[in-house]
Amino acid sequence: MKWFNKWFANKCRQAWEDANQPQEDIAVNSVTSAKVRRGIATSTGPTELHSRGVTFTLYKANGGHVVELRDYDPQTDRHANSLHLVPSDKDMGEALNHIITYEALKR
């Protein structure tokens, strides 16, 4: 029951401090805290990634593997898919290295 009393006291204290702030500060703080609660990274946040990711999917096929890469570009709002074939006689690590390098150079 002590945890509830502490939680309730903190909420009351926070409400009291928010009531004494000017309205502009409350609006800015509520938007910022809402973004943090939802996990949205802001431009000043340390968790923001400055690059977009690529999704790899590896399929087993007759005679080798198929590597599918999916990419989303938010600026153009387009999805890009590409398929690469890796024969069974080639080294998978070396082939993935070439695929990643090729896709990085395409950007």
Enumerate the domain spans of the chain: 2-38, 54-106
- Residues whose CB is less than 8 angstroms from the CB of residue 81 and which lie 6 or more positions away in sequence, other chains included: 68, 69, 70, 71
Q: pTM for the whole thing? A: 0.50
- Whether 64 contacts 55, CB under 8 Å: no
Beta strands in the chain (DSSP E): 54-61, 64-73, 78-87
User: pLDDT tens digit string along 30-62?
Assistant: 545 544 444 554 444 444 555 667 888 999 999
In the block, tokens 């590896």 appear at 58
Per the CB < 8 A criterion, the answer to whether 41 and 48 are in contact is yes
Give the separation between CA 101 and CA 95, rounded to whole angstroms. 10
pLDDT per residue over 57-76, tens digit each? Answer: 999 999 999 999 988 887 88
